[in-house]
Structure 1
């Protein structure tokens, strides 16, 4: 099968967590023998910011970490959809694309019914910026892949799409796995962006405060930390490590005793059942996890077995102390959490679900086996533009 993906960026995960899951899905499709081709704009802000801060080295690091993945970086306004979609079977359009491109692809699908077209939503904008999401023209799309049932239901209720499926994110266990033997560097590590003040109070209560009161040796990685946030980290005695390539997270997790999940407020208040992909990745890496409150109403995990839940800062302090001082508890959490990921939440599981959805909506003539000799990797289109 020929799968075409339109996304903001596959190469850069600088303030762009959507790249994590897309990399795993594309890699798994390729491993199964499908042809995958990815398109991203040449001026993608994630790549632009990454190169401005760190040069071209991280892009080379991505190429080494994912040698099977490549992107076609196109200048805005010049993308030839007839060429890009000529032999497509399935097309995925991620929601961090311009409205005009989403509409253009939909109109192309109307005129060329040989492929199936799905919109992929992995953000809280359906709640926090509904006017922006309503502006996407999805009339000619075959449906929406939503990373939680609450998002799926919004598309249906608001009439943004006739069909929508829940398609949770997941971890790629080929990348996110335990790395025994790494030297211990500290007690707690957290990988996440400060963001748009959507969880400032929560970070103080569930992360900075407990670290300070317990005197933990802690480190934080991420971007978009304003000066007041950096000052707060310093006051809590937390080292700030800046941006971390996502494929390096397993090595960092392996050097610390525990990590935490502090969800953004929109997910807690309006979109229950949706964890960030960091939860899947941390559990896949076998590091004990303690979560600030979130409602796992879709039954993805087993709270208390896969991870501990702290209802407030005092409980977070207690849980962190216990995990760091009770090796059996830490080991039990790490092993149970990883088993759950391997049993239900890998990118391979999500590709199974995607192929089931495709089979449900595919035209009869598209369900034949792919032709012999079909390419099994994405094809590079020259050097990334700077």
Structure 2
């Protein structure tokens, strides 16, 4: 099948946490015979901070963030068997959802793929005339990278014919154990951009434990933290490229995951960082959220914290031996149950069944 995928960026993870997800999912779908074209705007400095060059498993079209260029790439949707508009492109999102779906052939599958369902639903629910709300009944289905039953119920309540969660996962070829690097050594590391609906949780789950444990070393990576007040035992790295994530995850005693406010409240929303870290064999400490046990077992494959005090206690009592045991157990679980090969098989089956139904009709 020819898939036209309109997303934020396949080539860059700069201010683009969905890059790992896109790469894992689309690379596996290409292995299953799908012909993929990914359309991404030249915006937000992403092309100047590429993690990868255009891969051999997808054609990447980088278009200027102008209305003229937008019309051209939207028209190309007519060539595809499957047309996908992802959330959070960041440029002309409203025009894209209606434009590419209107351009799609009558026999093509139309899909909205939401990589931040809580935020999207918060935006469109109070707006009956929102372009996405108007488009939902015309789509074959909505795919989401998290959210579980609450998100499925919300989307179908707004008019989606079908909503299917396709969760984050790991690609063992890209995220795996590597030797530790001195520049990434710490007792606790956190990687995430500074965002309004995450900052208070970072203060509680990362900065507060750092202040409680002044003798321990803390490391934070991601954009936007350079102006944030932090205790002297916290070191800030700035943007960490995808190629450096394995070493970032294998070098510290433990790695911290902090869900954004909306993700934590919704549940069933493991971030890409959960799978990147555990895929590398890191000992993961995470804030608590509903649905976590679907992915990792607390106390054996992950350490769970209700607040910053819990994080501090985990770090203070964690030995290298236990850290290694938890990381190894998590990696076994992730490789057994949560790889992009498994997710790709789910999506491939979904696409083929849906197209077969259209052909029969």
TM-score normalised to structure 2 length: 0.87
**CA offset at residue 180 of structure 1?**
3.1
**CA offset at residue 200 of structure 1?**
3.0
Question: What is the aligned partner in structure 1 of residue 139 from structure 2?
Answer: 141
SS of equivalent residue, structure 1 residue 362: helix
Equivalent-residue separation in structure 1 for 2:127 and 2:340 (angstroms): 29
Structural mapping, 1:1-386, within 5 Å: 1-42=1-42, 44-45=43-44, 48=45, 50=46, 56=48, 58-59=49-50, 61-63=51-53, 66=55, 68-75=57-64, 76-77=66-67, 78=69, 79-80=71-72, 84-97=76-89, 98-109=93-104, 112-123=105-116, 124-130=118-124, 131=126, 134-136=130-132, 137-147=135-145, 148-149=147-148, 150-159=150-159, 161-180=160-179, 182-183=181-182, 185-196=185-196, 198-214=197-213, 215-225=215-225, 227=227, 229=228, 231=229, 233=230, 235-269=231-265, 271-296=266-291, 299-323=294-318, 326-363=319-356
Q: Is the 8 A contact 1:106 1:138 kept in 2?
A: no
Aligned length: 345
Equivalent-residue separation in structure 2 for 1:272 and 1:363 (angstroms): 33
Equivalent-residue separation in structure 1 for 2:285 and 2:303 (angstroms): 5
SS of equivalent residue, structure 1 residue 139: helix
Moved over 6 A (4+): none
CA separation of 1:94/1:179 partners in 2, compared to 1, >3 Å: closer, same or farther? same
Q: Is the 8 A contact 2:2 2:81 kept in 1?
A: yes
CA separation of 1:132/1:252 partners in 2, compared to 1, >3 Å: closer, same or farther? farther
**Unaligned stretches of 5+ in structure 2?**
none
Q: Is the 8 A contact 1:89 1:366 kept in 2?
A: no
**CA offset at residue 293 of structure 1?**
2.0
**Unaligned stretches of 5+ in structure 1?**
368-386
CA separation of 1:226/1:157 partners in 2, compared to 1, >3 Å: closer, same or farther? farther
Q: Is the 8 A contact 1:179 1:254 kept in 2?
A: yes
RMSD: 2.5
TM-score normalised to structure 1 length: 0.82
Q: Is the 8 A contact 1:219 1:240 kept in 2?
A: yes
Q: Is the 8 A contact 1:307 1:333 kept in 2?
A: yes
CA separation of 1:314/1:103 partners in 2, compared to 1, >3 Å: closer, same or farther? same
SS of equivalent residue, structure 1 residue 20: helix
